[in-house]
Structure 1
Amino acid sequence: MTYRIVAERGNETVRMERASSLLAVAKARVWASEGWHVTIIVRDQEQLEYADSDRMALAS
């Protein structure tokens, strides 16, 4: 399964793919902590959005 990560900030957009969900979430956390709006796309169907404020939800 492939996880696509799209990070957007201002007029910049970065796209990357990861094979591991753990790596995709870790990468999303780093980008979000730097002020990027991050979306993780799983199988081109589901979209998960990650923001720095979600750290507590993922930790529990």
Structure 2
Amino acid sequence: MRYRIVAKKDDTTVRSERNSLLIAAAKARIWIEEGWDVSVTDSEGKKLDRAELDGLFAT
């Protein structure tokens, strides 16, 4: 399954796609920490929420 990450900050938009949910979530978390507005969607168009992404890294 492919995951699309879209990050927006000021007038800049960055798009990335990853096959791994874990890698997509890690990339999204880094951008969020740097102040970007980030959304992650799966190949079916379902938007993953922040709690779902953070849950992948819970110990």
Which range, TM-score by smaller chain? Answer: 0.7 to 0.9
Encode CA deviations 1:28-57: one digit per residue, 9 max, x unaligned.
01000000011001014201243xxx5xx5
Identity rate of aligned residues, in percent? Answer: 45
In terms of fraction of residues, the more strand-rich structure is 1
Aligned residues between the structures: 55
- Cα RMSD (Å): 1.6
* Contact kept? 1:4, 1:40, Cα under 8 Å: yes
SS in 2 for 1:29: helix
Change (3 A) 1:49 1:38: farther
Structure 1: any 5+ residue segments left out of the alignment? none
What one-letter code is carried by the residue in structure 1 that aligns with 2:33?
S
Runs (4 or more) in structure 1 with deviation over 2 Å come to 57-60
TM-score normalised over the length of structure 1: 0.79
What one-letter code is carried by the residue in structure 1 that aligns with 2:18?
R
